[in-house]
């Protein structure tokens, strides 16, 4: 078995290979001057574990081309998708829309035998795959990182409450979530549901940080309520535009993401959790 490092997650692929005591596949991945992707395996592969994001679109196309090259060698293909792009459009919210999360699954499964998704936006995305599909959870690794650093974990909304609950059980601390109340068409008020955060070291934990708006708002509020330290963490750090600056300027004492999307905030690796699934 060989680990195939797509362009999106070379460090994660390298760490997975190291922990599995395996080699990275010898593959050339290039871009033509017009941006189109070219893939060539320089060795015969019988079984591959491909590590590649489906975000942004160019990585998705690269994944398809890697898969095609592998299938032409009759290789068995496992795919680890660190960040499952298009996962947020997981149902028809309004008539006329696509279910992008399902469409991507249908395309990916055409040339794959097994897929591992790390914290997809919703668990039911797994059901869109007709091949073996599993979820890998990045929360334990984040929780380990924050052990003894925080007194409570708070989710920015109810959707992330299960993550806060899990992290708090590993850290051994309290958890809660923010409640959102719509004041007007454009104004939404956020408030911590039950917890008094004054003097406490708080970790705000979400699955995705995109524009940073949600996290910045949560940090601001905790600051107002007198939290002594405020950390912001996510599994998938997209950090669109100046998202990181927004969060830090709001008063965040530390910003942490995993290596599903590699950035200078990738202080935590999901590699061990991925390897546990690959070995099981
Ligand atoms: C929403 O459902 C997600 O869990 C995140 O809260 C959201 O994607 C964060 O987006 P942003 O960083 O743009 O506020």
Is 280 a domain residue?
A: no
Largest CA distance in the chain: 61
Domain final residue, candidates 136, 153, 180: 136
State how beta strands 37-41 and 27-31 pair.
antiparallel
Domain carrying residue 68:
2-136
pLDDT beyond 90 at 8:
yes
Identify each DSSP E strand in the chain by its residue range: 2-5, 27-31, 37-41, 47-51, 76-81, 114-118, 132-136, 152-155, 174-182, 188-192, 201-209, 229-237, 254-258, 266-268
| Residue found by looking up tokens 């829309």 in the block | 97
39 and 131 share one domain: yes
Which ligand 1 atom is the nearest neighbour of the CA of 121?
Answer: 4
Which ligand 1 atom is the nearest neighbour of the CA of 243?
Answer: 12
* pLDDT one-digit tens code per residue, 187-220: 778 899 999 999 999 999 999 999 999 999 999 9
pLDDT beyond 80 at 90:
yes
Residue located nearest, by CA, to atom 3 of ligand 1: 208
99 and 21 share one domain: yes
Is 276 a domain residue?
A: no
**Is the CB of 244 within 6 Å of ligand 1?**
no
Q: Is 180 a catalytic residue?
A: yes
* pLDDT one-digit tens code per residue, 221-267: 999 999 999 999 999 999 999 999 999 999 999 999 999 999 999 99
125 and 150 share one domain: no
**Is the CB of 234 within 6 Å of ligand 1?**
no
Could you tell me how many residues make up the chain? 280
What's the domain count of the chain? 2
Is 277 a domain residue?
A: no
Number of Cβ atoms within 10 Å of the Cβ of 190: 16
Is 279 a domain residue?
A: no
15 and 128 share one domain: yes
66 and 36 share one domain: yes
What's 43's domain CATH number?
3.40.50.2020
| 31 close to 37: Cβ distance less than 8 angstroms | yes
What pLDDT, on the 0 to 100 scale, is given for residue 181? 84
Tokens of 8: 């999106």
| 164 close to 155: Cβ distance less than 8 angstroms | yes
User: What does the alpha-carbon distance between residue 11 and residue 16 come to, in Å, rounded to a whole number?
Assistant: 9
What pLDDT, on the 0 to 100 scale, is given for residue 168? 98
Name 142's Cβ contacts closer than 8 Å, sequence gap at least 6.
167, 205, 233, 235, 256, 258, 268
* pLDDT one-digit tens code per residue, 122-170: 999 999 999 999 999 999 999 999 999 999 999 999 999 999 999 999 9
120 and 144 share one domain: no
**Is the CB of 209 within 6 Å of ligand 1?**
yes
78 and 180 share one domain: no
- Residue 87 CA to ligand 1 center (angstroms) comes to 12
- Residue 208 CA to ligand 1 center (angstroms) comes to 5
- Residue 210 CA to ligand 1 center (angstroms) comes to 6
Kindly report the pTM of this predicted structure: 0.94
Domain final residue, candidates 119, 136, 153: 136
Domain final residue, candidates 107, 136, 165: 136
116 and 156 share one domain: no
Mean pLDDT (the chain) is 96
Is 193 a domain residue?
A: yes
What pLDDT, on the 0 to 100 scale, is given for residue 5? 98
173 and 56 share one domain: no
Of 111, 107, 110, the closest CA to residue 84 belongs to 107
Is 216 a domain residue?
A: yes
45 and 99 share one domain: yes
Which ligand 1 atom is the nearest neighbour of the CA of 238?
Answer: 12
Beta bridge partners of 5: 51
| 269 close to 18: Cβ distance less than 8 angstroms | no
182 and 160 share one domain: yes
Is 6 a domain residue?
A: yes
**Of residues 14, 76, 180, 223, which has the active-site annotation?**
180
- Residue 174 CA to ligand 1 center (angstroms) comes to 23
What pLDDT, on the 0 to 100 scale, is given for residue 185? 73
**Is the CB of 210 within 6 Å of ligand 1?**
yes
160 and 232 share one domain: yes
- Residue 25 CA to ligand 1 center (angstroms) comes to 35
Is 79 a domain residue?
A: yes
pLDDT beyond 90 at 184:
no
Beta bridge partners of 256: 233
């Amino acid at each position: 078995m060989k680990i195939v490092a797509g362009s999106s997650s070379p460090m994660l692929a390298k760490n997975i290979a190291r922990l599995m005591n395996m080699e990275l596949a010898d593959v050339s991945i290039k871009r033509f001057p017009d941006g189109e992707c070219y893939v060539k395996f320089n060795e015969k592969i019988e079984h591959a574990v491909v590590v590649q994001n489906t975000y942004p679109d160019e990585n998705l196309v690269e994944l398809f081309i890697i898969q095609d090259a592998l299938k032409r060698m009759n290789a068995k293909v496992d795919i680890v998708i660190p960040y499952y792009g298009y996962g947020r459009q997981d149902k028809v919210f309004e008539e006329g829309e696509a279910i992008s999360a399902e469409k991507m699954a249908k395309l990916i499964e055409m040339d794959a035998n097994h897929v591992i998704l790390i914290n997809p936006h919703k668990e039911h995305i797994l059901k869109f795959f007709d091949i073996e599909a599993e979820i890998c959870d990045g929360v334990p690794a984040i929780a380990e990182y924050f052990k003894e650093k925080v007194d409570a974990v708070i989710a920015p909304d109810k959707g992330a409450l299960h993550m806060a609950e899990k992290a708090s059980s590993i850290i051994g601390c309290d958890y809660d979530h923010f409640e959102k109340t719509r004041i007007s068409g454009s104004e939404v008020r956020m408030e911590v549901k039950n917890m008094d955060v004054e003097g406490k070291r708080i970790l705000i934990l979400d699955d995705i940080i995109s524009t940073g708006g949600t996290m910045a708002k949560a940090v601001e509020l905790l600051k107002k309520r007198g939290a002594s330290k405020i950390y912001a963490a996510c599994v998938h750090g997209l950090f669109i535009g100046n998202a990181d600056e927004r969060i830090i300027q709001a008063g965040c004492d530390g910003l942490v993401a995993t290596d599903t999307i590699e950035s200078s905030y990738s202080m935590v690796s999901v590699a061990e959790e991925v390897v546990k699934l690959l070995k099981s």
